[in-house]
């Protein structure tokens, strides 16, 4: 979902304005890590821990605002602003972060017309595509990109940037400048038509070269923009283990609206239908070790051989279905789906 401080969105027409909405996060000063830091330290940015905590709170309140906007079936929030207030009294000090904005319904994206019409080609299209080709040609990483370039990519809606974006997903950086610039880049999917964004993101989840880093960022983008598509989920569940994990992430999300087709699909997963799609992925074989020859072991996907009664791989900590202890399991999502269907049946 697009969230902007401006009252317009380039290339999009506002069809309907809803009433302004707000979201608030309050935290006590003693909940922050550096108790001795001063109020000026908190807002002056001299304390790294405070700055990181403030960024977390900012993201939390923005996400809450997006959730409120989705209840209106809005496509974006305009006029976005954030206020930070200090609340104190009776020996306590708290900080309140309030986000305000106006949810709006937008028209469909006007796709860039690159073909000649009557022998003429829009000059702005040529200009933007030339600029895009230079950016792609010179791209060496997020650190070497300036903010204006990141913003251009995010708002361009040019599909030639897709490979660059997936490459950027694999980059890592610890400082806030890198994180902010990377976040700006991935707003690209908010500016696309919803169907186009779904096709690109789910397409990468199904690709053979999907990486763990891409999996995390794409899952976050799907969640943030509510790009839930059960037709695509069905394809993920028939794919690789990483694709199946992505399907679990999507199925754990709440849709804004459930169509009759959505409900029919969930019905195919009811009971133990989802869990049954996740079978063991290990290979049981005889050990060839000097002292354990002839004993049965199970070989993990990582290649390590474990005792037959071991519940998790000693090397990578994955169980026989390929899950680590902290990862979302099919059983948890199965319970959620069954409960959803119970509620739907009762309506």
Residue 70 pLDDT > 90: no
The dihedral through the CA atoms of 266, 271, 277, 278 has a sign that is: positive
Tell which wins on pLDDT, 272 or 291. 272
Residue 124 pLDDT > 90: no
Long-range pairs, 193-202, Cβ under 8 A, ≥24: 193/108, 193/109, 193/111, 194/225, 194/227, 196/109, 197/225, 197/227, 198/227, 198/229, 198/232, 200/159, 200/162, 201/227, 202/229, 202/232, 202/235, 202/236
3-class SS at 256? coil
Q: CA-to-CA distance for 201 and 217, rounded, in angstroms? A: 10
Q: CB-hemisphere CA count at 13 Å for 252?
A: 16
Chain length of the chain:
347
What are phi and psi for residue 31, nearest 5 degrees? -85, -15
pLDDT score at 199: 95
Q: What is the mean pLDDT of the chain?
A: 85
Residue 9 pLDDT > 60: yes
Residue 12 pLDDT > 80: no
Q: CA-to-CA distance for 146 and 175, rounded, in angstroms? A: 15
Q: CA-to-CA distance for 35 and 332, rounded, in angstroms? A: 38
**Location of structure tokens 């394809």:** 235
pLDDT score at 148: 92
Residue 36 pLDDT > 80: no
pLDDT score at 31: 54
What are phi and psi for residue 286, nearest 5 degrees? -85, 140
316-339 per-position pLDDT tens digit: 999 999 999 999 999 999 999 999
Contact 133/160 with Cβ under 8 angstroms?
Answer: yes
What domains are there in the chain, each with its CATH number? Answer: 2-106 (3.30.110.70), 123-257 (no CATH)
Cβ neighbours, 10 Å, residue 2: 21
pLDDT score at 45: 46
pLDDT score at 10: 72
Q: CA-to-CA distance for 311 and 174, rounded, in angstroms? A: 35
Q: CA-to-CA distance for 153 and 187, rounded, in angstroms? A: 9
pLDDT score at 89: 65
Residue 94 pLDDT > 60: yes
Q: Are strands 2-3 and 76-89 parallel, antiparallel or unpaired?
A: parallel
Burial of residue 174 (number of CB atoms within 10 Å: 0-12, 13-18, 19+): exposed
pLDDT score at 33: 46
Residue 37 pLDDT > 70: no
Tell which wins on pLDDT, 101 or 50. 101
Tell which wins on pLDDT, 310 or 60. 310
Residue 46 pLDDT > 50: no
pLDDT score at 28: 65
What is the average per-residue pLDDT within 94-113? 76
What is the average per-residue pLDDT within 106-117? 56
What is the average per-residue pLDDT within 253-275? 93
For helices 260-267 and 330-346, what crossing angle results, to 10°? 130
pLDDT score at 39: 44
What is the average per-residue pLDDT within 159-169? 95
Residue 29's pLDDT band (cuts 50, 70, 90) = low
Residue 136 pLDDT > 60: yes
Question: What is the DSSP code string of 27-81?
Answer: EEGGGSS-TT--HHHHHHT--HHHHHHHHHHHHHHHHHHHHHHHTTT-SEEEEEE
pLDDT score at 95: 73
């Amino acid at each position: 979902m697009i969230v902007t401080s401006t009252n317009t969105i380039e290339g999009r027409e506002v069809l309907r304005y809803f009433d302004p909405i707000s979201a608030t996060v309050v935290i006590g000063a003693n909940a922050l890590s550096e108790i001795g830091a001063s109020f000026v330290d908190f807002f002056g940015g001299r304390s790294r821990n405070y700055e990181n905590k403030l960024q977390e709170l900012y993201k939390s309140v923005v996400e809450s605002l997006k959730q409120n906007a989705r209840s209106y079936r809005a496509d974006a929030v305009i006029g976005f602003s954030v206020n930070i207030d200090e609340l104190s009294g009776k020996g306590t000090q708290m900080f309140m972060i309030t986000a305000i904005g106006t949810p709006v319904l937008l028209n469909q994206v006007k796709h860039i017309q690159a073909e000649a019409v009557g022998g003429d080609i829009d000059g702005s299209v040529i200009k933007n595509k030339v600029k895009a080709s230079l950016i792609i040609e010179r791209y060496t990483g997020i650190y070497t990109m300036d903010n204006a370039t990141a913003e251009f990519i995010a708002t361009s809606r040019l599909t030639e940037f897709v490979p660059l974006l997936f490459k950027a997903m694999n980059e890592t950086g610890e400082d806030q400048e890198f994180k902010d610039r990377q976040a700006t880049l991935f707003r690209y999917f908010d500016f696309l038509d919803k169907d186009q964004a779904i096709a690109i993101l789910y397409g990468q989840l199904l690709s053979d070269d999907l990486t763990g880093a891409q999996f995390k960022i794409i899952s976050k983008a799907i969640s943030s923009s509510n790009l839930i598509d059960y037709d695509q989920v069905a394809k993920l569940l028939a794919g690789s283990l990483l694709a199946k994990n992505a399907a679990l992430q999507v199925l754990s999300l709440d849709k804004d609206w459930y169509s009759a087709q959505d409900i029919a699909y969930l019905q195919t997963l009811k009971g133990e239908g989802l869990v049954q799609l996740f079978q063991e992925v290990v290979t049981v074989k005889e050990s060839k070790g000097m002292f354990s020859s002839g004993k049965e072991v199970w070989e993990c996907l990582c290649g390590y051989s474990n005792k037959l009664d071991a519940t998790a791989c000693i090397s990578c900590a994955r169980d026989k279905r390929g899950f680590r202890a902290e990862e979302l399991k099919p059983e948890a999502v199965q319970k959620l789906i069954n409960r959803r269907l119970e509620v739907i049946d009762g309506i």
